[in-house]
Amino acid sequence: MSIRLKKLLRHNEFYIFVVILLLSFLIQSRSGQFYTPNNIVDIIAALIVPGLFAIGAFMVIVSGGIDISFPALASLSIYTTTRILVDIDYQGGILLPLVLTIIFGAVLGAVNGFLISRFKLQPLIVTLGVASMFRGFMQGVLKSVQIAVIPKGMSEFGTSSLFVAKNMETGLTSRMPTAIIILIITLVVVYFILNHTMYGRGLYAIGGNEISAERAGFNVKRIKFFLYVMVGIISSLAGLIRVSMMTQCHPTNMLGMEMMIIAGVVLGGVAITGGAGTLKGCMLGTILIIIVQNSLILMGIPTFWQGFFLGMLIIVGTGVSALQVKRLNSPKKGKGGDKYA
């Protein structure tokens, strides 16, 4: 029992969970608006797109890499999909848009994967360059503009809901988007891959020690290539959901989200150096960021303070775990002394 507790206390996820609880109680006590059905549903709805991005970013970080191109990749992929469908005056359901985004996401992710696995280039540099290329391609070659009316199948999917939550006191209602299903399916699939397939353990192994992974017999090149393909697909799905829920396609709307997403992942206890971290932590970190973004308003704090609080959370959150690691590694003066006493 006590060992279990000790184990729990050593995990970052636990602290993030405590912080989320404390923050929610604080907001609840100040506004009385946090633990209401519609607010909870709102937060979950707001989690869908950042959550998907975070899953992708998390997988890359676990493998010891970093990807900052996913918002640009998602933008290009969904813009192309929407443009094609609008141009052919597509009237069908969500299936074709879904298939198209997955294909575009896979192809664009393969660009990252090819450069990183084949030429062993630094992921930071590659994705920085690729992000810029994707943006430039979208704006220069595709002459991207806002698409105000998207295909009916997409907007119907984006606005459809599983259920509606109602706040009895205020009468406010919030819809739980159908798209949450995509987040849940992705979480289940990625959880299975990371923990129950040799491919997933390979990602952790590469993050721990790439040379050892190669010596042990992991096909490092192939693992890395498919990693970026997968991340491309997941990010594109996030793009599709974002556009469908907004019922319009704005080409630059998602750009710049990468820093906040990566911060959330790191906040969840995922080691930026690779090899360590859980999907649970990654999600908790993202939830914390969403709550700060969505709920400070409930406490009557002006929105421009959001950036300040987020920054502080990131420094404190990652700083505490860095200090923990440092303390674990430094020699213990007191302990050595017992021997001679």
Footprint of other proteins on this chain (CB under 8 A)? 195-201, 204-205, 207-209, 211-213, 215-218, 271, 275-276, 333-337, 339-340
DSSP assignment string, 254-298? TTT-HHHHHHHHHHTT--TTSS---HHHHHHHHHHHHHHHHHTGG
Query: Considering beta carbons, is residue 137 or 191 the nearer one to other proteins?
Result: 191
Which residues, including other chains, have CB under 8 Å from residue 261's CB and lie 6 or more apart?
50, 53, 54, 57, 70, 286
Axis-axis angle for helices 70-87, 95-118 (nearest 10): 140
Identify which of 113, 94, 21, 69 has the alpha carbon closest to the alpha carbon of residue 256: 69
Greatest alpha-carbon span in the chain: 84
Q: Rounded to the nearest whole angstrom, what is the least distance from the CB of residue 65 to other proteins in the complex?
A: 15
Q: Which is nearer to other proteins, 5 or 198 (CB)?
A: 198
Nearer to other proteins, 10 or 160 (CB): 10
CB of 194 to other proteins, least distance (A): 10
Residue among 47 and 194 whose Cβ is closer to other proteins: 194
**169 token code pair:** 């006191």
Please count the CA atoms within 13 angstroms of the CA of 309 that sit on its side-chain side.
17
Which residue number, 4 or 143, has a Cβ lying nearer to other proteins? 4
Q: What is the 3-state secondary structure (H, E, C) of 166-178?
A: ECCCCCCEEEEEC
What's the closest the beta carbon of residue 279 comes to other proteins, in angstroms?
Answer: 15
Residue 325 CB: number of other CB atoms within 10 A? 10
Q: Using an 8 Å Cβ cutoff, are 138 and 74 in contact?
A: no
User: CB of 202: closest distance to other proteins in angstroms?
Assistant: 8
121 token code pair? 């280039």
Q: What are 280's two structure tokens? A: 């649970």
Rounded to a whole number of angstroms, the minimum distance from the CB of residue 275 to other proteins is 4
- Shortest spacing between CB 190 and other proteins, in angstroms: 14
Cβ of residue 104: shortest distance to other proteins, in angstroms? 27
Nearer to other proteins, 216 or 322 (CB): 216
Q: Which is nearer to other proteins, 152 or 280 (CB)?
A: 280
Min separation Cβ 217 and other proteins, Å: 4
Toward other proteins, which CB reaches closer, 18 or 216?
216
Nearer of residues 175 and 201 to other proteins, judged by Cβ: 201
Read off the amino acid at residue 155: S
Alpha-carbon distance of 177 to 182, in angstroms, equals 10
Q: Which residue carries 């959550």 as its tokens?
A: 51
Q: How far apart are CA 67 and CA 268, in angstroms?
A: 17
**Least distance (Å) from other proteins to the CB of residue 226?**
13
Point out which residues pair with 166 in neighbouring strands. 173
The tokens describing 326, both together, are 């440092």
